[in-house]
Amino acid sequence: MAKLIVCKTCEKEIAAFAKICPHCGAPNKKSSWIKNLLLVFLGIIAISLIFGGTKAPSKAPKPEESAYRYAQKLDYRKAMLRQLESGALLLFVGKIIQKVGDHGARISIGGDIVYLTFDAKPQIIEDDVVRIFGRYNGTTKYETVLGAEVELPVITVDYYTVTEPKN
């Protein structure tokens, strides 16, 4: 005698080998462990792609401090126009005008404002004059308290020295 199963649509008994239910016409989708395993595997891949894509891009290794002897001076215009190569080594001096959280700051370089990011909490305060050894990382936009949109070049700071601390 043929094995009977219950139709998932009309809940009447049908032959296990039937391709469609003779009562309601619904397809008989037999559960296959291979199919289920494949669906689980594809789900894991989809989740890792979704959540993996929200992470920050993998960072290039921090260059040795000696590599900065070949660093270029920050060209603000080229930085704002995104004409600098991502990761370009830069060396410049400026005045800290605002700390942003534990790992960011805004710096003024001859009146031009640049956003700095630090891996660790920097030991700087507002009005410190600092020498920055960093890498160009594109630009960022944000909205001010008054609703204006501001775009700034972003520099990932690898090394810094406080040349004139605020007293």
pLDDT in tens, 9-54: 888 888 877 888 888 888 877 656 677 777 777 777 777 666 654 4
Choose among 114, 65, 71: nearest CA to 89: 71
pLDDT per residue over 77-92, tens digit each?
Answer: 999 999 999 999 999 9
Return the percentage of the chain with pLDDT > 70, whole number: 89
- What is the structure's pLDDT at 56? 47
Structure tokens, 132: 């920055």
Around Cβ 116, how many Cβ atoms within 10 Å?
26
97 secondary structure, DSSP code? E
* Domains, the chain: 4-52 (no CATH), 65-164 (2.40.50.200)
E strands, 8-148, are 13-15, 72-73, 89-100, 104-109, 112-118, 129-143
- What is the structure's pLDDT at 44? 79
Return the higher-pLDDT residue of 146 and 85. 85
- What is the structure's pLDDT at 26? 84
Choose among 87, 93, 88, 92: nearest CA to 73: 92
